[in-house]
Structure 1
Amino acid sequence: MAGPEQRSRTRRRRRGGREQLMVPEAEFQSYYGKPIVKAPPWEADIPAYLFLGGLAAGSSLLAAGADLTGLPAQRRSARVVALGGITASLFFLVNDLGRPERFHHMLRVFKPTSPMSVGTWILTAYGPFVGLALGREVVPLLPRRVAEVLPISLIDRASRPAGIVAAAIAPAVASYTAVLLTDTAVPSWHEARHELPFVFVGSAAAASGGVGMLLNPLHESGPARRLAVGGAVLELGAEQFMQRSMGITAEPLHRGRAGRYHAAARALTFVGAVGAVLGRRSRVASAISGLALAAGSASTRWAVFHAGMESTKDPKYTVVPQRQRRDARGGGEAFTEV
C-alpha cells in the first residue's frame, strides 16, 4: 500500500503537475576549501612585460609612419622607445622565467597551438628589426674611428626597410599577449578571450601615442596625437563590450587591487584622450595628456593581471560560466522523477 508521500506524487503526476524538488541554494565550494583553478605562478614582472611590449609595438608603427612622412624627431624618439620597450619587456619575461636559458629553449620548437611558443617566435623576429631600424639614429653618434670600420652606408640604407618590417610585426606583438592570457583556465582571462586582444591593441596605441606626445614638439606630434586618441577610444569601447561578455567573471575587475587599477585606467585614459584633443596647441597640456595615457595603459595591464589572479580564488567564477555554457547547449534541463 502506497504511503502518503507516494500518493501525493501520484496525484501530482495525474494532474499533469511537475514535482518541485526543494533543493537549497548552491554553495560554490571545493574540496577542503581549495581553489578549483590554480593561479599561474606569475609575479609583477608579467604586467610590466605586457605593458612594455605593447608600448614598443605601437612605437614601431609610429616610427615607420614618421619616417615615411618626414618627421625626424618623431621617428627618432619612437625608434628609441620601441627598442627600449622591447628590451625591457624581454628582461621582465626572462626574469619571471627564473633562468634565462628557458627563453632559448622555447626556440627549439615551433608549436602553432601554443600562444607562448608563437609569442616567443614573434618577439624573436621583431627584436632584430627594431634594433636595425635604430641604426640610422645611432650612426651620427659614433666616434669617427668606429664609423670608419662599420659599413655605415649599409646600416643607413637598411634602417627604413627594417623599420617597416618591425611595424608589420608590431600588431602581433601588441595582441599576442592577450591570447597568451585568455588561453589559460583563469576565469576572468578566459571569459574575455573575444575582446581582450582589442583592449590590448587599443591600450598599446594609446600608450605609444601618449609617449610620442610627451617627447616631441607640437609641430611633429600630430600622428602621435591621432594614434593616442584612436587607441584610447578603441580601448575604452572594447573594454565595455568585454565586461558584458565576461558576465560574473567581470566582478574581480571592480574589487580590491584590480578595481583600483581599473578605475585609474579608465579615468587616466579618458582624461588623457580629452586632453590630447583640447590641448593640441599647448606643449604642456600635450605632455600631461601623453603621460596620463601611458599611465592609463599600464594600469589596464595591472588591472587585468590582478583580476585574473583574484578570479582563481573563488570557485563560483569557474562553476557559474561552466553551467551557463552547459545550459546554452541545452544540457541543463531538469529531469523529473517517473
Structure 2
Amino acid sequence: MEEPWRGETYHGRSALKPAGFDWKVAAYILAQGVAGSAQVIAGAARAAGGADGDGLVRRARLLSVAGNLLGTAVLVGHLKTPKRWYNMLRIVRPQSPMSWGSWLLVVFGAASAATALGELLGGRFRWAWRLGEAAQAPASLAGAGMSVYTASLLSTTSNPLWSAAPVPLAAGFGAASMANAASALALLQRNAGEHESARRLETLAALAAGGEYAAMRAAERRWSEVGVEAPLREGGPKALFGPAAKGLGVALPVAAQALALVSGPGAPARDRLPPVASLGLLVGGFALRHALLRAGDDSAKRPGDYFRAAQGQPNRADR
C-alpha cells in the first residue's frame, strides 16, 4: 500500500521562498494605513462641518501627508535600490495588484499634497484653498484604498497564510487603519484643547478596533479550517499577535474607554485613560502587521501549509 504523503519535498527544500519583510514593511503598512484613513476622516469632517471641524480637517490632512511621506521613505529604504520604485511606475498592468498599488500611492500622494497645500496657503491664496477643497474627494477615495490595498497585495501571493483568508484580512487591515488614524488624530485634538472632537474620534477608534477584532477572528477561523494557523501559535508571531495586537491593541483600549465613560465628569480617569487607549491602539496596530508578516514568512517555510492552502481545504494527514 502506498504510504500517505507527510510533507516531504525535493531535498527537503521549502516549496516557497519567504518574502523577508521586516519591521520596516510593518511600519510602512501602518503609516500608509493611518495616512489613508486620516483622509477619509478629513472628508467626513469637512462634510459634517461643526465648530471644531476646521481644526480636525487641518490636522487630518497634515497627518495624512506626514504618514504618506514617512511610509514612502520606509518603503524605498526597504527596496534597497531607490530606482526600483521608479521602475514600478514605468508601466501599468491592470492584472497586477502591485501595479495598482504603485499608482494608487501616486494618486493618493498627489491628492493629499493638494489638500495640505490648501491648508498651508489657503489663507493667503484663494486658488490654493480651492485646490485643497477640490482634492478632498479624490484624496478620501484614494485614502480608503490605501487603508486596505496592502492586504490585497499580501493575499494575492502564494504565501499560505496570507492567501487563505483574503476578505477577512482586508477587512482587518481596513478597520485597524481607521482605528489607528482616529487614535492619532484624537491625541492631536486633545493636545490642541479640542476635547469634544477628540472624544468622538476615540469612540470611532474603539468601534473600529471592535471591527478589527471581529475580522481577525474570522481570518483565524479560516486559517484553522485550511490548516495554516500554526505559525501564529509559535514564537515571536504568537507574542505579537496575542498579547501585543489583541491585548494592547484591542482589549486595553476598549477597557480604558469603558472606564473613562463610566467615570464621573470630574474624575481624573476621564481625561487620562483615553490617551492611553489611543497609544495602545497604535502599538497594537504595528504589532498586528508585524505579526502577520513574520508568521507569513514562517508559513512559507512549511511545505504542508503551502499544499493545504493550494488545495483550499483541510488536509491534516501530515501534521
Assess same fold via TM > 0.5: yes
CA shift at 1:326, angstroms?
Answer: 9.5
- Find the residue that maps to 1:216 and give its secondary structure: helix
The more displaced of 258-267 and 154-163 is 154-163
**Corresponding residue number in structure 2 for 1:109:** 91
- Find the residue that maps to 1:84 and give its secondary structure: helix
- TM (norm. structure 2) is 0.86
Aligned mate of 2:218, from 217, 234, 241: 241
- Find the residue that maps to 2:229 and give its secondary structure: helix
Structure 2's unaligned 5+ residue stretches are: none
**Corresponding residue number in structure 1 for 2:148:** 175
Q: Judge conservation of contact 2:62–2:116 (CA < 8 Å) in 1.
A: yes
**Corresponding residue number in structure 1 for 2:305:** 317
Pairwise CA RMSD of aligned residues?
Answer: 2.1
Matched, 1:42 2:28: no
Q: Which amino acid aligns with 1:284?
A: R
- Find the residue that maps to 2:167 and give its secondary structure: coil
Aligned mate of 2:252, from 236, 258, 271: 271
Alignment of 1:1-338 (within 5 A): 21=1, 24=3, 26-68=5-47, 69-70=49-50, 71-139=53-121, 152-217=125-190, 218-247=195-224, 248-263=227-242, 264-268=244-248, 269-279=250-260, 282-323=270-311, 325=313
Separation in structure 1 between the aligned mates of residue 163 and residue 108 of structure 2, nearest angstrom:
27
Separation in structure 1 between the aligned mates of residue 168 and residue 282 of structure 2, nearest angstrom:
21
TM-aligned CA distance change 1:321 to 1:126, over 3 Å: closer
Separation in structure 2 between the aligned mates of residue 163 and residue 324 of structure 1, nearest angstrom:
41
Residues 60-115 of structure 1: CA deviation (Å, up to 9, x unaligned): 11122223323233222222211111111111111122222221222221112111
Q: Which amino acid aligns with 1:233?
A: G
Q: Judge conservation of contact 1:228–1:273 (CA < 8 Å) in 2.
A: no
Greater relative CO, 1 or 2 (CA 8 Å, sep 6+): 2
- TM (norm. structure 1) is 0.82
CA shift at 1:265, angstroms?
Answer: 0.4
Structure 1's unaligned 5+ residue stretches are: 1-20, 142-146, 328-338
- Find the residue that maps to 2:61 and give its secondary structure: helix
- Find the residue that maps to 1:96 and give its secondary structure: helix
Identity among equivalent positions (%) equals: 24
CA shift at 1:24, angstroms?
Answer: 4.9
Q: Judge conservation of contact 1:214–1:288 (CA < 8 Å) in 2.
A: no
Separation in structure 2 between the aligned mates of residue 215 and residue 159 of structure 1, nearest angstrom:
21
CA shift at 1:42, angstroms?
Answer: 3.2
Residues 1-51 of structure 1: CA deviation (Å, up to 9, x unaligned): xxxxxxxxxxxxxxxxxxxx4x55643122222111111243332111111
CA shift at 1:176, angstroms?
Answer: 0.9
Residues 189-211 of structure 1: CA deviation (Å, up to 9, x unaligned): 11122211001001101101111
TM-aligned CA distance change 1:139 to 1:322, over 3 Å: closer
